[in-house]
Amino acid sequence: MGKELDYRWHLREVMATRDMFSTTDLAAPLADRGVHLSPSQVYRLVVERPERLSLKVLMALIDILGCSMEELIEPVAATPTKKAKVAAGGGSGVGELRPKRARITP
């Protein structure tokens, strides 16, 4: 299995270094370059880490901000996630959650 990669999205920081502090500052420049996004889409693009990004949007951002792709997207090693191992017979499944039989003592 190969090395898993992740990334950090630095759009907000790059915008701040260019004195762009509002997400609405991007709407008009994007539209001038043929990228028409709703205000909520622009907000999510700036505030959240995008899972999918078209090359047209990426190239427009690079052009608007006058930056490189490396400034916007930083590749990092993925943090390993723990996967729970479940045995076929139950293991840490429902078996532990079953009620215990009551004992009646005379």
| Span 40-90, pLDDT tens digits | 999 999 999 999 999 999 999 999 999 999 999 999 988 776 665 555 555
Half-sphere exposure of 72 (CA within 13 A, CB side): 24
Mean of pLDDT over the chain: 85
Secondary structure (3-state) at 8: strand
Burial of 35 (0-12, 13-18, 19+ CB in 10 A): buried
Entry pTM:
0.69
Domains defined along the chain, listed by start:
5-77 (1.10.260)
C-beta separation of 86 from 93 below 8 A: yes
